[in-house]
Amino acid sequence: VLNSCQNETSSTATQGASEDISSVDSVGFQVNVHLGGNTGGLNSILSTTAISGQILDLNVHAGLLEISPEDYSLRPYLAVSRPTVTINEDGTILMDFEIREAASWDNNTPITAEDVAFTLKAIKNPKVNCNHLRGWFEFVEAVDIDPNNPKKFRIRCNRSYLLAETAIGAMSVFPSYFY
């Protein structure tokens, strides 16, 4: 919900059509957004509220892919491109990803396939309180990391799943070094 807009030079918020904001210089322009709740923490794996996903997954954490708000298509974010998907005759799926060379954590260490594998292990671990997520990833069998390139990996899926690319791609990746 858009709450208000104001320019630094104006003392009141523009809450209507009285001022043509298309002519306002974007420098110093402020948009206030009202959110309907709190996240309850900064770890989206452990957060169970809808507002947590809206805030954390879209603004704090990053996934391999993102969902375009314009047409809801998947597009690369941390990944170089969408994965190469192979569907085997037995119904299993292989998804090959590569993480962008420039992708790094806030301490400048590179984001690698090890971080993706760690995130999936955390979600699938029954001792981690994330039952709300676990079902979305039960089809994941293993993560195979390329020994020659730590930014390349393959996700092996034990069965066909309509939302496999979306679930893996939109999953927030967590730094393995931190945990």
Residue with tokens 């996240």: 39
H-helix segments, the chain: 50-52, 58-59, 113-124, 131-134, 164-170
Mean pLDDT computed over every residue of the chain? 82
Q: Which two tokens stand for residue 106?
A: 């806030």
pLDDT on residue 16: 45
For residue 120, the SS3 value is helix
What would the pLDDT profile of 87-97 be if each residue is shown by its tens digit?
999 989 999 99
What would the pLDDT profile of 97-142 be if each residue is shown by its tens digit?
999 999 999 999 999 999 999 999 999 999 998 888 898 999 999 9
Say if residue 52's pLDDT is above 90: no
> Which residues are paired to 32 by β-bridges?
4
| Number of residues assigned to the chain | 179
**pTM for the whole structure:** 0.76
